Amino acid sequence: MEKLAASDHPIHEVIRSRWSPRAFSKKPVPADALKSLFEAARWAASSYNDQPWAYIVATGEDTENFNKLLSVLMEGNQIWAKNAPVLALAVARLNFHHNGSPNRVAVYDVGAASANLTFEATARGLAVHQMAGFYPDKAREVFQIPVGWEPIAALAIGYPGDADGLPENLRQAEAAPRSRKPLSEFVMTGVWGKPSPLVR
């Protein structure tokens, strides 16, 4: 299913095409394509070039590790994410590598890396659905994530599939039009809440 963004201003086709389906095909994602997704994440911008990201990943063929990733998702996400051919967990290192001081933008930088990954996926005909709905404490235990690292988001990766296999409420969500608040609500100037004349 294609759900192009109804943008108010011209944007790149990859951005218009990106969305977060819950219906995934069982078709495996080639290893070379996955390498390119994580290569795109690798080249994201980060403060001091600290690159504070790590990804725990498993394909459906790796049943043991795939099930471990599935087990840390909240039940509402397990329902559909079990059908994705790839699951991953994005993790942030909270202190700078070079001096050990707190990195207040670590999570921001991990988000940038995951955005790069997502746009690379979209350009290749793949889809990524990022999830806040997982259990961080369970993830730390299951994957033995060390102190100083924080699980940030789970990701389902694969080719878009048929929504007919989803529960009714999720089928409706798949078919619903995409929407965003207008630029005037979040692009400001001068004082907080005053829309910039650029977007009036």
Q: What b/e sequence results for 117-146 when a residue is b if at least 16 CB atoms lie within 10 Å of its CB, and e otherwise?
A: bbbbbbbbebbbbbbeebeeeebbebbebe
Tell me what pLDDT residue 195 has.
97
Q: Give CA–CA dist 14/192, Å, rounded.
A: 31
- Interval 110-125 mean pLDDT: 98
Of residues 124, 135, 131, 109, the one with CA closest to residue 53: 109
Chain mean position to CA 11: 20
* Interval 66-102: pLDDT, tens: 999 999 999 999 999 999 999 999 999 999 999 999 9
For residue 146, is it within any domain? yes
State residue 93's pLDDT score.
98
Query: Does a structural domain hold residue 131?
Result: yes
* CATH number of the domain where residue 110 is located: 3.40.109.10
Domain tally for the chain?
1
Over 90: is that where the pLDDT of 154 sits? yes
DSSP 61: T
What angle is formed at CA 8 by the lines to CA 175 and CA 195, rounded to 5 degrees?
A: 120
Does 33 map to a domain? Answer: yes
Q: Using one digit for the tens of pLDDT, what is the confidence trace for 3-52?
A: 999 999 999 999 999 999 999 999 999 999 999 999 999 999 999 999 99
User: For position 174, what pLDDT does the model report?
Assistant: 92
- Within a domain: 147: yes
| Element containing residue 76 per DSSP (H, E) | helix 75-81
Q: Is the pLDDT of residue 126 over 90?
A: yes
Calculate helix-pair angle for 136-143, 63-71, nearest 10 degrees.
150
Domain coverage including residue 100: 13-163
Under the banding of pLDDT at 50, 70 and 90, the label for residue 2 is: confident
Which residues are paired to 24 by β-bridges? 160
